[in-house]
Structure formats: C-alpha cells, structure tokens
Amino acid sequence: MKVRLLRGEEAERAAELDKACEGAAHWSVDDYRRLAGALPDEPRFCLLAEDDAGEPAGLLVASVADGEAELLNLAVAAGKRRRGMATALLGEALRRLAAGGAATVWLEVRESNRPALAFYRRHGFQLRDRRRDYYPAPPPAACRQDAGATGAPREDALVLARAVREPGGSL
C-alpha cells in the first residue's frame, strides 16, 4: 500500500471513490481537481491510498489553519476496508498536519456511522460536541420517492477531536 498526494488526472477517480462510500462526503470532480492542483503550502490537501496493485482505493481530505486542523473527508472502497488503509491515510495526514503547525484535529461524523466512530475512537478522537440535525438522513427505501414532499429526517453530527501529536510526541 502507498499513500501520496492526489494528482490532477485522478480527480475523476477520487470523486467516484467517495460517491461509492456511503458515509463519505460527496465532492465534485472539480473539487478534487482544485485539491490536486494545490500548492504545497496551501491549507488543504487530498491524500490517495493505492492498494498493492497500484489502484486508488482510499482518500482523505484535510485542512489546517491557525494551529487547528480538520479532517474533511475519509473514504475507503468497500472491498478494500479493514486492511489498514484508513489508518495509513490518517497517519500520513497527521504527519502533514503536524508539519503545518496544527495542534488539534477536528472532524464531524454522522451519529449513525458506527464503523467510523469506532475507527476514530481507536485513534484517540474524543467526543467534543454534538450538532443537532446537521445531516440530512436518507428516508427508508420505501419512502424515498416521497422524501422531497415531506422532508427527510435529519441526523446529528458528532464533533470529535484529538491532539495531532499524542502525549509523548507520537502521531
């Protein structure tokens, strides 16, 4: 597995990858093109993880400003999960965020996204806040056609944070 910065020609693949991951934020091809074209000192970056065959299989988007960082998106292809890819992406992101001067990293996650919550907790993130009704929640499959008329239910976002460097200096 290899983790590196996203390249411009991979923007379309990155957008496909995030759209295939239900819990990920869905960004446009143009969003990923902008991230891939970012200069090294710009506050946002996108990391791409390749599987052993060299195929893009995961991504992470983060930003840093004024000593604070935010994880904006993390997606790993369904068939590539539970192989350490998200951990490798997070580790590289933390190294870059530390180099960018960040002391704390924040993120928001759907309350119902149990796998993501377990992952983040394993990596030292703690609950700091709750944003009520932050995300639109998809209605049950039987109601999807009616969602526009009745309005979809909303879901809370849990705000998690951790120090970029753990006590003792480890990432």
- Could you write out the DSSP letters of every residue in the chain? -EEEEPPGGGHHHHHHHHHTSTTS----HHHHHHHHT--TTSSEEEEEEE-TTS-EEEEEEEEEETTEEEEEEEEE-GGG-SSSHHHHHHHHHHHHHHHTT-SEEEEEEETT-HHHHHHHHHTT-EEEEEEEEEEEPPPPGGGGGGHHHH---EEEEEEEEEESS-TTS--
Catalytic residue status for 32: no
Compute the distance between CA of residue 85 and CA of residue 52 in angstroms, rounded to an integer.
11
Catalytic residue status for 108: yes
Token pair recorded at residue 86: 């998200």
Task: Give the active site residue among 120, 134, 135, 155.
Answer: 120
Task: Give the active site residue among 10, 70, 108, 135.
Answer: 108
Active site residues per annotation: 108, 120
